[in-house]
Chains A and B, each alone.
Chain A
Amino acid sequence: MIPTPLVDAAFFVFAAGAIVTGYRVFRTDSMVRAAFYLLASFSAVGGILVLLGSEFLGMVLLLMMAGEMLIMAIVMVMYMMNPAGLNPMTMVHQNRVAAVAGLAAFLALAAVGLLGDFPDRPAPQPALATEELGIELLGDSMLVFQTAGVTLLSTMIGAVAIAGRRGRSGSAEDGSIEPALQPDEEDAA
């Protein structure tokens, strides 16, 4: 995107938003809130990607993160036996290790940002960027991405088969049934 003052301003808004909401993930006291702050942080990063001319990746990031964060919130609440996710709880542990790891990662990334040698050429048109991405995904990197894709697809089909109505865990219509004490009893039933 052509760097006009408006684009620059948008960049700083998104960048500040990503940092502040990213920080809030760890300072909030509820899992659902943490998931939503993380989503806000990723959304700001998606905005920066769009500003960089990588529209497809930016939009796909938004698309994926929305679903992902909802699943994450639901699963976290499920595991934590905290049905509403509104009960206050501490979101951090192992503070010292985390602080050291976080600081080290920040310094390493900052060093890459400051000392790295970045190509200085105008970004391609978004449509061309999308095309290049497609050629990359279905060209040189095809084997890697197709392997990952097929693996994920079979995982999905497996998950549906297990969780489905007549799946491994019994009919969904029946609700949860106490498992039998003896394996034979289960077969007989």
Chain B
Amino acid sequence: MNVYAPIQIALPAVALTLALGVYLVAVADRVMAGVIAGSGPELRAAMLTPLRGAALAFLQWRRATERPDAGGWALAPALLGGLAAFALALVPLGPGLVVADADTGFVAFSAAIAFVMIAVYLHGWSPNSALPLHGAYRYGAQALSFQIPFLLAMLATALPAESLSIVRIVEAQATLWNVVREPVGLPLYLVVGLGVSFWGPLNMPDATDLAGGTSAEDSGVARLLWGAARASMLVAVAAMGAAGFLGGWFGPFLPGPVWMILKTLALLGLILAAGHLLARIRIELFVLVSWAILIPLALLNVFVSGAFLL
């Protein structure tokens, strides 16, 4: 049975979560950079710099390229941000506390993840410029490689629930979390999480060796929006990871939604830390590992999860 929150609640809830999430990602990323660099957390600077950067973006002029696809260029950040909002709307915060409890939530989330590659490709292709285009093709190779392991890793969480609904998937973890039941699932999912938001070791499309890759030609508000959309995707992926693998709202003592937020923050922290601690991996190696190692591993995970149900 599909249950949807009324739109006057759904829109502000998703928008507020994403706005807070994006700001949190910006601050936490800076704090981590400070800690890892040894200059201390510098909390005050970390909290102000993203706001200052955002304000500055509004004052910058819009850079132009020769004969770009203006529509596609403007659409790409909106599409990525919209996909993050779509994905986040499917994640339950607590029992009954979900914007869209869809029977096919898992498939809907996967469709959103698949559309991310359209957004990134569009973003790199439409400026009609060499370095963004390189980034777009890199992401094509990267995203097509991690799609299948991702689908298989998520599919294994739907097996014990015997449902494609995210709420049922969480409810099936009342006694045993999927992270214990399927130990391979969460690491596989996190690889994809990094890939979908092209963060840290998997930031190939927007990499510094391409002078910013798909966003090399972005400036001002467009650049700000793209960054915000990426961070939103990160928040949505972390929230879904908490629901799919870390038992969602289940936990002792604290109320369900608090557990859900804590688990999301923990996954977010893990992904952000990976962004600072791990070196970017080469695209050839990533494609090889995805096809030759991650897919068989994910298949094995599905078989083992299925065998437990028999």
Interface set of A (CB-CB < 8 Å, partner B): 30, 32-33, 36, 39, 55-56, 59-60, 62-64, 66-67, 69-71, 73-74, 83-86, 125-127, 130, 160, 164-165, 172-173
* Bound Cα distance A39, B118 (Å): 9
> Is A59 within 8 A of B104, CB to CB?
yes
Residues of A within 8 A of B214 (CB): none
Select the stretch in B109-117, B176-184, B220-228 that faces chain A.
B109-117
The one of B1, B67, B143, B292 in contact with A125, judged by C-beta atoms closer than 8 angstroms, is B1
The one of A70, A130, A172 in contact with B284, judged by C-beta atoms closer than 8 angstroms, is A172
Select the stretch in B121-129, B234-242, B251-259 that faces chain A.
B121-129
> Is A165 within 8 A of B284, CB to CB?
yes
> 7 closest Cβ contacts across the A-B interface?
A66-B114, A59-B107, A62-B111, A63-B111, A127-B103, A55-B104, A126-B103
* Bound Cα distance A130, B114 (Å): 21
Of the A-B pairs whose beta carbons lie under 8 Å apart in the complex, a sample of 15, sorted by A's number, is A39-B118, A55-B2, A55-B102, A59-B107, A60-B111, A63-B107, A67-B117, A69-B118, A70-B117, A70-B143, A84-B128, A86-B125, A86-B128, A160-B291, A164-B288
Question: Does B72 make an interface contact (CB < 8 A)?
Answer: yes
* Bound Cα distance A164, B290 (Å): 11
B29-82 with Cβ < 8 A to chain A: 67, 69, 72
Number of interface residues of B (CB under 8 A): 33
B64 → chain A closest CB, angstroms: 15
Question: Interface centre among A59, A126, A160, by most B CB within 10 Å?
Answer: A59
Q: State the main secondary structure of chain A at its contact with B.
A: helix
Residues of A within 8 A of B144 (CB): 67, 70-71
Interface set of B (CB-CB < 8 Å, partner A): 1-2, 67, 69, 72, 102-104, 107-108, 110-111, 114-115, 117-118, 121-122, 125, 128, 133, 137, 140, 143-144, 147, 163-165, 284, 288, 291-292
Further contacts, 7 of them, CB under 8 A, given A55-B102, A66-B114: A33-B72, A71-B144, A74-B140, A85-B125, A86-B67, A126-B102, A130-B104
A-B contact count (CB 8 A): 85
Residues of A within 8 A of B163 (CB): 127
Residues of A within 8 A of B115 (CB): 62, 66
